[in-house]
Homo-oligomer: A and B are copies of this chain.
Amino acid sequence: MIITIGREFGSGGRELGRHLAEILGCAYYDREIITEIARRTSLSEKYIQHVTEQKPVIPFPIHTGRTFWAVIPDYNQSVHQEQHKVIQEIAEKSDCVIVGRGADYILRESKPFRLFVYSDMESKTARCRKNESADYEAGEALSDKELAKRIEQINKGRADYYAFYTGQKWGAKEYYDLLINTSGRDIRALAEVVAKFC
């Protein structure tokens, strides 16, 4: 059993994943994947985090008559390839919950249970203020409007990254088995119910 979780930043998807893995007694992967890529590539975790949260910046667009070619920096390419390998290896090892990183697409032939977790902006900003999301830095210093903008930027990066590498639309229902709106809900209680779906 493989469960993949796509999640809007600030929606509690990571928390839901952790509870789910605990309830089902299976492995949980999130930042562990970044750590493993860092070990294999000798790149910093921060850099890897950065390039796996947005679509590649393309420094040399080349237009050759009819076709537009994009040259993706080697570092980005190798991070992406290592991520692909790491995710396939962990999925072969045991039952698991994998948060983010396009795992639903990478593992599509294994037919994972594909979850997407989202919420309204009010819930997202409230969750960030409570500092439940480790991704978020210096939230206290931002106004609500600035925080909402930052959250939107992060989610835009995730959507672009996902679209770039999968050709699919991030969060579009046809690519998932279950989509959960966590606005105003207790994440642990949701996880208990979701565990019965998988």
Q: What is the chain B residue whose CB lies nearest that of A179? A: B179
Copies in the complex: 2
Alpha-carbon separation in the docked complex, A165 to B120 (Å): 22
Cβ of A120: which chain B residues have Cβ within 8 Å of it? 174
What are the residues of chain B within 8 A of A177 when measuring CB–CB? Answer: 180-181, 183
Q: Mark A151-186, 1 if CB is under 8 A from B, else 0.
A: 000000000000000000001011011111101000
A38 to B30, CA, bound (A): 55
Residue from B176, B181, B183, B196 in contact with A196 in the complex, judged by beta carbons closer than 8 Å: B196
In the bound complex, CA of A181 to CA of B193 (Å): 16
Please, which residues of chain B bring their CB within 8 A of the CB of A180? 177-178
Alpha-carbon distance A190/B173, docked complex (angstroms): 17
Identity of the chain B residue whose Cβ is nearest the Cβ of A196 in the assembled complex: B193
> What are the residues of chain B within 8 A of A179 when measuring CB–CB?
173, 176, 178-179
Q: In the complex, what residue of chain B is closest to A193 when comparing beta carbons?
A: B196
Chain B residue numbers with a CB within 8 Å of A183 are 177
Centre residue among A120, A178, A183 by max chain B CB count within 10 A: A178
Residues facing B in A40-80 (CB within 8 A) are none
Question: 12 other contacts beyond A192-B196, A193-B196, with CB at 8 A cut-off?
Answer: A116-B173, A118-B173, A118-B174, A171-B173, A173-B179, A174-B181, A176-B179, A178-B180, A178-B181, A179-B179, A193-B193, A193-B197
Q: Which residues of A contact B (CB under 8 A)?
A: 116, 118, 120, 171, 173-174, 176-181, 183, 190, 192-193, 196-197
Task: Rank and list the top 10 A-B pairs by shortest CB-CB distance, nearest first.
Answer: A179-B179, A193-B196, A177-B181, A173-B179, A193-B197, A118-B173, A178-B180, A173-B173, A193-B193, A171-B173
